């Protein structure tokens, strides 16, 4: 049985986030459901408008986190880790 050397991946830096310091009002069931629908629609529209940019950003982050010049000959070794 041969063992592969597994290298520890670098931890991602924490993402910038915005905390909204607001108190949410009490809502009726209907109003809460309507607000949830609006937020879901907003999310879908945002993702549709910026999907390509989001993918590019994540790809750039993955490239910058991968170890450069690790000296490995086989490019597909990472697929065998799981």
Tell me the pLDDT of the chain (82 aa) as tens digits: 556 566 555 556 666 777 778 898 999 999 999 999 999 999 999 999 999 999 999 999 888 876 655 555 555 555 555 4
pTM: 0.48
Residue 13 lies in a domain: no
Residue 50 lies in a domain: yes
Q: Which helix (H) or strand (E) holds 43?
A: helix 29-65
**Count of structural domains, the chain:** 1
Domain with 59, as residue range(s), is 27-63
* Residue 60 burial by Cβ neighbours in a 10 Å radius (0-12, 13-18, 19+): exposed
Residue 55 lies in a domain: yes
Residue 21 lies in a domain: no
Residue 41 lies in a domain: yes
Residue 80 lies in a domain: no
Supply the pLDDT for residue 54. 92
């Amino acid at each position: 049985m041969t063992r592969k050397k597994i290298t520890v991946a670098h931890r991602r830096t924490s993402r910038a986030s915005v905390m909204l310091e607001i108190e949410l009002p009490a809502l009726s069931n209907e109003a809460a459901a309507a607000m949830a629908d609006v937020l879901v629609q907003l999310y879908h529209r945002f993702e549709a408008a910026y999907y390509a940019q989001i993918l590019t950003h994540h790809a750039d982050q993955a490239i910058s986190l991968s170890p450069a010049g690790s000296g490995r000959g086989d490019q597909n070794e990472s697929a065998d880790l799981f």
